[in-house]
Amino acid sequence: MGQGSNSKSTSASRVAKLAAKGKGRKVWFKGGALFPAVVVGIAVVGAALIIYSRESIPDRNVPPTIDDHWHVSYGFYACDTWLPDLQGNKEELDTAGQLLNEGFRRTGIHSHDDGVIHWHAYGSSSTGRNAKFGVFLDVYDVKVDDTKIEFPADQGGAVYEEGETKCIDESGKSVDGEVVAYVYDSYDDASKFTTYITNFDQIRIAKDGMAIAVAFVPAGTNPGQPPSAINLPELGAVDSGQAPPTSVDPTATGATTTLPTTAPTGDTTPTETSVATGATTTIVGATTTGP
């Protein structure tokens, strides 16, 4: 019994001495530090690849897929008026029979001069989580950032920039404008929208029948849904070869209400500004809108 106790005490003492001796010292594997360094490197690269794949490769089960043909109402609004719809369907071919517009050739996203985004994706660059408003903007080379809306020469070349472009408010005073986007979950409900003040290209095209209004306006101004929203069922039906359903009554509950505003100096044409009521809680990159 006594000998066994001494043996245990000796073993414990050795372990304690080894632990104390090893404090503050690096642990070396047989063969040096190369092997553990390689293992760590592989682990880091593997983790990075997993993160990249999750972000860049859309889930095939997440709509829209290449089998979907969606329609999204869109419109650009400056100060107190809706701007013309983007022109051209980007289906022009070169002499070899190839699509001239690289963006449309790669994504399949375009419009038909009708204020509607026709979303029939050609591949992964515009399906699933990659289905974003920026895909459409790139096809038409329209730039929208935190401070500016800029159209290419073939779309008029207009630029609306914070600190440079002025709007006329209801009192006739010249005021600064700001870039904002109102994203409606459905074309037939003007009361539910999300307000974005940044990351406009990241606005997710998550369902058929959405409506997106991109505006350069005085702070707090909401122009309402784009003009094409009310006709979205008919426009989509024509494009899809279906019988057009009944359109939304603009005077019905949940539709846009109009209030008079003052036209810009030198413009005597009466204008109206659409004001949507109600709100939904926004996502990252957006602001919360109150009633």
Q: Residue 14 pLDDT more than 80?
A: no
| Ordered alpha helix ranges (H), 171-247 | 232-240
Rounded Cα distance between 120 and 126, Å, is: 9
pLDDT attached to residue 102 = 83
Q: Report if residue 9 sits inside a domain.
A: no
- pLDDT-based confidence at 288, cuts 50/70/90? very low
pLDDT attached to residue 290 = 43
Would you say 183 and 212 are in contact if contact means Cβ atoms under 8 Å apart? yes
Rounded Cα distance between 48 and 239, Å, is: 42
**Which range has the top average pLDDT, 96-100, 101-105, 165-169?**
165-169
Q: Domain limits at 96?
A: 70-287
DSSP one-letter code for 35: H
- pLDDT-based confidence at 284, cuts 50/70/90? very low
CA angle 220, 223, 228 (to 5 degrees): 155
| Ordered alpha helix ranges (H), 2-132 | 2-22, 34-56, 102-107
**Which two structure tokens, joined as six digits, stand for 226?**
């784009």
Give the mean pLDDT of the chain.
Answer: 76
Backbone angles phi, psi at 91, to 5 degrees: -100, 10
Number of Cβ atoms within 10 Å of the Cβ of 110: 21
Rounded Cα distance between 26 and 207, Å, is: 56
Q: Residue 263 pLDDT more than 60?
A: no
pLDDT attached to residue 235 = 79
Q: 272 or 234: which carries more pLDDT confidence?
A: 234
Q: Report if residue 46 sits inside a domain.
A: no
- Among 48-62, 100-114, 269-283, the range scoring the smallest mean pLDDT is 269-283
Q: 112 or 268: which carries more pLDDT confidence?
A: 112
Q: Residue 67 pLDDT more than 80?
A: yes
* Amino acid symbol at 26: K
User: Residue 112 contacts by C-beta under 8 Å, 6 or more apart in sequence?
Assistant: 89, 118, 239
CA nearest to 184, candidates 277, 84, 65:
277
Global pTM reads 0.64
Q: Report if residue 42 sits inside a domain.
A: no
Rounded Cα distance between 119 and 206, Å, is: 11
Q: Residue 225 pLDDT more than 50?
A: yes
Q: Report if residue 34 sits inside a domain.
A: no
- pLDDT-based confidence at 59, cuts 50/70/90? low
- If one counts the domains in the chain, the total is 1
User: Residue 63 contacts by C-beta under 8 Å, 6 or more apart in sequence?
Assistant: 127, 128, 131, 206, 207
What's the pLDDT tens digit per position in 203-218? 999 999 999 999 999 9
Q: Report if residue 209 sits inside a domain.
A: yes
Q: Report if residue 124 sits inside a domain.
A: yes
Q: Residue 265 pLDDT more than 60?
A: no
- Among 102-111, 157-166, 241-250, 266-275, the range scoring the smallest mean pLDDT is 266-275
What's the pLDDT tens digit per position in 28-54? 545 556 666 666 778 777 776 666 555
Q: Report if residue 24 sits inside a domain.
A: no
Q: 192 or 39: which carries more pLDDT confidence?
A: 192
* Mean pLDDT of all residues in 2-6: 52
Q: Report if residue 32 sits inside a domain.
A: no
Q: Residue 162 pLDDT more than 90?
A: yes
* Mean pLDDT of all residues in 51-67: 68
